[in-house]
A = this chain, B = another copy of it.
Amino acid sequence: MSVKKHVYMFSETDASMRNLVGGKGANLGQMTQLKLPIPQGFTLSTEACTFFYENDKKLSDEIILQVEEALVKLQTITGKEFGNPINPLLVSVRSGARVSMPGMMDTILNLGLNEVVVEGLAQTTKNPRFAYDSYRRFVQMYSDVVMGLSKSYFEEVIDEMKKEKGILLDTEFTTDDFKIMIKKFKSFYQEELGEKFPEDPKKQLFGAINAVFNSWQTPRANYYRKFNNIPNEWGTAVNVQSMVYGNMGNTSGTGVAFTRNPATGEKKIYGEYLINAQGEDVVSGVRTPAHIETLKEIMPKVYDEFIKATEILENHFKDMQDIEFTIENNKLYLLQTRNGKRTAQAALKIAVDLYNEKMITREEALMLVQPEQLESLLHPQFNPVLLKKAKPIGKGLPASPGAANGHIAFDVEEAVKLYKEGKKVVLVRMETSPEDIEGMHISEGFLTARGGMTSHAAVVARGMGKCCVSGCHELQINYKQRYFELDGKKFNEGDYISLDGSTGNIYGDKIDTVAASISGDFKTFMQWCDEVKTLGVRTNADTPVDAKQARDFGAQGIGLCRTEHMFFDSTRIKAMREMIVADNTAEREKALAKLLPMQRQDFEEIYEAMGNFPVTIRYLDPPLHEFLPSKAEDIKEIAAELGMTIKKLKSKIDSLHEFNPMMGHRGCRLAVSFPELAKMQTRAVMEAYCTVKKKNPKYSPVPEIMIPLIGDIKEFKYVKNIVKETADLVLEENKMDVNYKIGTMIEIPRAALLADEIAKEADFFSFGTNDLTQMTYGFSRDDAGAFLNAYYEKKIYESDPFARLDQRGVGVLVEMATKLGKEANSKLHVGVCGEHGGDPSSIEFFFKTGLDYVSCSPFRVPIARLAAAQAVIQANKK
């Protein structure tokens, strides 16, 4: 067997060897290939790590030999020598797995120093303080990181010495102080470990390498791997790199720079540096760094070299880079480069610019923006100047992004009153319910004391693109006396508050907002998305306003128009209630006749807003008791309004009471009990179509009638027959024809299990993944808040299954239903209209599962378009 290569010089590695030499190693290799000035070094491969574990956690002689050979080469490259006090080679030792992973060993710096070398360094650099500070840091790091001694002892020693000397900062220590400190550290080391601190640089080196390999299997690292599905066998690499110092005097320095502006995306170097300093000094903020451009004047050659390097790196990595550099005695070294973090606006501009600069393809450009980032471009934000001065009075969950200010209203009536006075309103409630919809429409934002990220308030807010802070448990509302308490202060109805739905912060006064600016690149970028993506993106919209907004955002139709929201409107709820309290079919039909023209009007406006796009209309879904009052005073008022006795209304309400409304008399079950309801809705859907089409023949919307909560083919057929008869009758009456569709939501597990049967009768499926998730997990979104926190804390769940589709569980039903459905009916159109339709990772899953479209709230449409495009690009990569 030939000897296996386990150790690679940086010059021997490249991007293709990432699995073998880890992310950091491959990166250093690439920079070496690019002939950039990096401190040279070598990498022990991930296979060496595996071998280490196979060899009883010992480095084999073979590996030791290879390391020593590499060390010799490194000495040749650097012209320095390990352990030589005149010209010492000092190195850092770092772990470097394929993917960045917390829980692994960090960094050891200044390795190679000992009693002799430190003194040599002091003399050659003429900087004894620097030399001894470096040495004490090394002793400290080695003791803690490699040998596992407690950090706190070292800190205690330092603190004690400061006290003795009456100083406050590390910088006030003298060389002699460091010498004393090193002695103390070393004697502690000996006491604890029963051996002297290693003076032999090679012993130090192999100790550090061992420590890195051992850190691959700490409990924390194992735990992290398990949760992130990282195989144990991958192992970690070890990088040994020669040290450079930016604190060697005024010809040295250190800094950080971005190749483009990370805030705006502007193509211009952006960064800062400090002369005679180490990396941590730039970060700590003790000294104020200078702008990178001033380096041009101080060290013009270094600056030019640096600028050239940034261009090479950007060209190589094809993305804006975030670069750390050090200047040691007028010589530039690049320590690290990575793709830089950036704002949404910058991300868009950089992506489009890089494409225009022909540096990347359109597909690569699309991968440079995180879909979620787009959200911040779509909502108003607080004026940053004002925000800086503001102090929050409390914090809830950041349930729906954007910023809002307005006058406090505790209920819909007050909200309407303030609104009519021309005032902006923030609705503050314990929790919201469908009865509050009207008040929510006219409010700028909502604040609730109860409920999580997927509570009613949060879901509605995201749907409407309004700001919402939910679940602020400290919020004490006194509805009776019309005030709330927070942060020890009292806020009355009508007082100003401001909400930040992106952070969850609540402010006790008015902070002005600014509309976010959307650059022209945004449009270009979104067009690229549409050219690449294959998945349709529709919107969930119940009103013409929402529909229009969504079209502006690029929606290709409505995937979910909830008809019940229309009934909560104060002008309509009376007729709705008459329908509900009706004692027989005739009375019910009378009330429905009043609702018909209103519902028809809604649909007309929505069709007009959607032009030639399909509009999926879901029939009445919530249980009827949601439309009836629950408070005594309301019951009294409404009984009078409906012309019935309080007793009778009460008994009607009682008879509609449900233990588990979520699993009650709702969805298609209403249409089965009261077919006249489905008839009225069908009439409204089809008459609206006829009216719009007659008025303006250029509009050709496709009505798609969606029956909710189906669990059985016979149930679907029963309702479908009613719908079909009525629809055909209306078309006949109007002498018109349209290829309307009748489909169903798949939101009951049983429907997914029997999807083949249902598909034979349905034109389309739309996954209602909200309800499907609730039923599959057996918990209600409204109630899960009480226990889900414990599940996150105890690492039982990693993410909210209502926000990100549970692909292993609920996803199995989605796959099953899609497969069964499409096999049984090749024309079946399949989409999703639950909240997950706007979540990028879920969208990728829906794409892979073979769905035809996703539907999400208007403000998530751009996100979905990008996620859908990225899904295609990802799939093509494989």
Contacts and interface: CB of A to CB of B under 8 A. Distances in A.
Interface of A: 656, 658-665, 669, 672-673, 709, 711-712, 714-715, 718, 747-750, 753-754, 771, 774-780, 782-784, 786-787, 790-791, 794-797, 806, 808-810, 812-813
Given A709-B778, A749-B749, A664 B714 contact: no
B750 A776 contact: yes
Contacts of A661: 659-660, 783
Contacts of A753: 776, 808-809, 812-813
A778 B775 contact: yes
A754 B808 CA distance: 8
A776 B749 contact: yes
Contacts of A797: 712, 714
Nearest to A662: B660
Nearest to A450: B655
A279 B191 CA distance: 112
A661 B660 CA distance: 7
Instruction: Select the residue from A748, A779, A790 with max chain B CB neighbours within 10 A.
Output: A779
A470 to B, nearest CB: 15
Nearest to A812: B753
A779 B665 CA distance: 8
B796 A715 contact: yes
A747 B673 CA distance: 29
Contacts of A777: 711, 748, 750
A659 B780 contact: yes
Contacts of A808: 753-754
Instruction: Select the residue from A669, A782, A810 with max chain B CB neighbours within 10 A.
Output: A669
What is the copy number of this chain in the assembly? 2
Given A709-B778, A711-B809, A775-B775, A658 B783 contact: yes
Interface majority SS on A: helix, strand, loop or mixed? helix
Contact of A794 (B662, B672, B780): B672
B778 A672 contact: no
Contacts of A813: 749, 753
Given A778-B663, A783-B660, A673 B809 contact: no
A841 B828 CA distance: 35
A749 B786 CA distance: 21
A673 B754 CA distance: 36
Nearest to A771: B778
A715 to B, nearest CB: 5
Given A659-B783, A747-B778, 8 more contacts: A658-B782, A659-B780, A672-B787, A673-B786, A709-B778, A748-B777, A750-B778, A750-B806
Nearest to A757: B808
29 contacts: A658-B780, A658-B783, A658-B786, A659-B661, A659-B782, A659-B783, A660-B660, A660-B661, A660-B782, A663-B778, A664-B784, A669-B779, A672-B791, A672-B794, A673-B786, A673-B787, A673-B790, A711-B777, A711-B778, A712-B809, A748-B776, A749-B809, A749-B813, A750-B776, A750-B806, A750-B810, A753-B808, A775-B775, A775-B778
Q: Which 8 A-B pairs have the closest CB atoms?
A: A660-B780, A748-B778, A663-B780, A664-B783, A750-B809, A659-B782, A660-B660, A660-B662
A439 to B, nearest CB: 20
Contacts of A778: 663, 709, 711, 747-750, 771, 775
A784 B659 CA distance: 10
A749 B663 CA distance: 15
A808 B774 CA distance: 21
Contacts of A779: 663-664, 669
Contacts of A712: 796-797, 809
Nearest to A778: B748
Contact of A672 (B669, B672, B790): B790
A708 to B, nearest CB: 10
Contacts of A665: 783, 786-787
Contacts of A774: 663
Contacts of A747: 778
A808 to B, nearest CB: 6
Contacts of A775: 749, 775-776, 778
A834 to B, nearest CB: 14
Contacts of A754: 808-809
